[in-house]
Structure 1
Amino acid sequence: MDEQALKARLPGSIAARVQTLKLADGKVTLVLEASGLDAAGRAGLEAAAKDVLGAADGVSEVRVAMVADRAPPPPKPRIIAIGSGKGGVGKSTLTANLAVALARMGRKVGVVDADVYGPSQPTILDTKGGKPEARDDKLVPVQSRHGVPLLSMGHLVEPGKALAWRGPMAGNAMAQLVDAHWGDTELLLIDLPPGTGDVQLTMLQKFKPEGAVIVSTPQDLALIDAQRAANLFDSGKVPIIGLVENMSGYACPHCGEVSDPFGRGGVETAAEGTGIPFLGRIPLALEIRKASDAGAPNTSGDGEEAEAFSAIAAKLASWIDREAV
């Protein structure tokens, strides 16, 4: 009996999985494709093949090998950087609220808290005390109750402990947070530290973002630093998605009168002067501070603040969809 006749003896369900069948000196070597089968299914397939072929005339031994196509690794999430030239302009608050707003739109979004010296995302996204697991030498993000997975140095060091690290160490730490097991996460928002230092340079070199959002208060000093951040992204050929004006207008909770302690419209004017899109403004509101401290981003609810964050998130989602075409 030759090899073709042996294969013809196999049931169709087994024959369809035959990769190779060799006969030599009464010994059959059979290679079967076993994708989609669990351990029991593979064992059953092997036993059935041996029963059929072992009963053929002239066959003294049947050897069966299994092969299976490896599932392709999940695609890496698209990266959007959220940056500023200086601290204290609300970059982390914006990042968390954009992430929650995008998740509420059905986007699979995660957050990397790259501000290794002053991590605040575990507080804003209510994951304080969470500890990421490690698998295959990579971190597994901590899941927040808002549907946004997160990795932060705040998950890895003791609360309140100061990190006395030189710049390259901070850059390496950020790289480990980004190069993690993000699963089916499609979009990764990176909350960058203020300035244009080692963390930003490492990100541009190893994980070039698809785009960047720059946040600033309206005052001139903040705008000068925001321009430096924009210049860094320009030098790295990262598109600036747009500018956000934060702490823009304060409504007195008693009389309702609106004042502008940091000015108003400066970021929008800067956007017009540079041709960069203006994404919107966020008011200076006590509710935003309370929500951030409570781990309940404003986009989890309703009101003027939630609408402001959601409107910016919608513009960001539109930009992402256009770039995917």
Structure 2
Amino acid sequence: MSNCDSCSSKGNCNSAGVGCNNKLEPKYGKIKHIIGVISGKGGVGKSTVTGILAAKLSKEGHKVGVLDGDITGPSMPRFFGINNERADMLQVGDSEEIKFRPVETSTGIKVISLNLLTEEEEQPVIWRGPVITGVLKQMYTDTEWDELDYLLIDMPPGTGDIALTIMQELPLEGMVVVSTPQDMVSMIVKKVIIMAQKMGVSVIGVVENMSYIKCEKCGEKINVFSKKSAQEHAEHLGVPLLAEMPINLDLVESMENGTVEEFLSKSDEYEELINNLKNRIM
């Protein structure tokens, strides 16, 4: 039984939509699976993995949404090439409440991000933790998600306020952890995994990004950052290996051109990632 006295939402249950299990629920939609994507440090491709998962799940016919939870470093609009669009803020009836209408990508993925709510995407967010977590929760609860099969949350790296809020207050089905093949990165990723375990959040598995490059002439996989295999790194972390992903310049180019969904619809390189994810949450 939950202890209301220790709940951060005590006294706000009716307005915030928090049930007695201390979990927030969206006001404007129903979501079947909520998956967090996190990393121990920045620059390892966490947002890229989030976008790939979203695009591949959408291609399979699932209704997909993406919540850009990295409030101070949002990048999902850029990934999908929708950074010049803006989400609508709508008044709810005669009240002073507002709700957000997310921007839809070319394949119908619903995306909400702080960069879609500011006038310019370069505008920095200079806020302290409580304000940032409040905005994150509002984007989750007050967005018109309608009915989704999957909501993917692109979480900020590390074990800070937002990660703690998401693990504590959102009904996560599990988390995908993104890493790269270096011992230093693995050490930091281990902190995230231990944090999830302490919070009672399931870790679905790890994606090792930038795991190798592929020779264009012979197709041989060439390790760049470590001689250890992706499986060895996953065993060190103590979680299943969902996939090892190469450095893919064609993917990078498609992201820069705003055509990533078209590129991913024609690529079968990431099928292992999707299949392993779905097998572990079904």
Partner of 2:225: 262
Contact 1:280 1:308 in 2 (8 A): no
- Report SS of the residue matched to 1:279: strand
Distance 1:211 1:153, change over 3 A: same
Matched, 1:310 2:271: yes
TM-score normalised by structure 2 residue count: 0.81
Q: Distance in 2 between matches of 1:102 and 1:293?
A: 21
Matched, 1:156 2:111: no
Contact 2:28 2:145 in 1 (8 A): no
Q: Distance in 2 between matches of 1:267 and 1:278?
A: 7
Partner of 1:91: 46
TM-score normalised by structure 1 residue count: 0.70
User: In the alignment, which of 162, 175, 179 is matched to residue 199 of structure 1?
Assistant: 162
Partner of 2:136: 174
Q: Distance in 1 between matches of 2:238 and 2:185?
A: 19
Partner of 2:234: 271
Contact 2:133 2:165 in 1 (8 A): yes
Range moving further from structure 2, 187-196 or 157-166? 157-166
Matched, 1:124 2:79: yes
User: In the alignment, which of 274, 295, 315 is matched to residue 258 of structure 2?
Assistant: 295
Q: Displacement, 1:316?
A: 1.2
Matched, 1:239 2:213: no
Contact 1:247 1:282 in 2 (8 A): yes
The number of residues matched between the two structures is 247
What's the CA shift string for 1:172-228, capped at 9, x where partnerless?
A: 121122112100112100001111111111112221311000010001111111111
Q: Distance in 1 between matches of 2:269 and 2:184?
A: 24
Q: What amino acid is the match of 1:278?
A: L
Partner of 1:23: none
Distance 1:265 1:110, change over 3 A: farther
What's the CA shift string for 1:213-261, capped at 9, x where partnerless?
A: 0010001111111111111211111111011110011235578665322
Distance 1:164 1:283, change over 3 A: same
* Identical-pair percentage: 34
Matches within 5 A, 1:106-145: 106-135=61-90, 136=92, 137-145=98-106
Partner of 1:251: 214
Partner of 1:82: 37
Q: Distance in 2 between matches of 1:169 and 1:73?
A: 22
What's the CA shift string for 1:72-131, capped at 9, x where partnerless?
A: 974344210000000000010010011010011111111111111111110111211221
Q: Distance in 1 between matches of 2:62 and 2:281?
A: 11
Structure of greater Rg: 1
Q: Distance in 1 between matches of 2:221 and 2:272?
A: 21
Distance 1:267 1:145, change over 3 A: same
Q: Which has the higher relative contact order, 1 or 2, with Cα contacts under 8 A spaced 6 or more apart?
A: 2
Q: Distance in 2 between matches of 1:285 and 1:89?
A: 13
Q: Distance in 1 between matches of 2:109 and 2:165?
A: 24
Q: Distance in 1 between matches of 2:102 and 2:272?
A: 27
Matched, 1:165 2:127: yes
Structure 2 gap ranges (5+)? 1-26, 93-97
- Report SS of the residue matched to 1:161: coil
Q: Distance in 1 between matches of 2:227 and 2:221?
A: 11
RMSD in angstroms over aligned alpha carbons? 2.1
Q: Distance in 2 between matches of 1:310 and 1:86?
A: 25
Contact 2:30 2:145 in 1 (8 A): no
Q: What amino acid is the match of 1:113?
A: D
Structure 1 gap ranges (5+)? 1-71
- Report SS of the residue matched to 1:308: coil
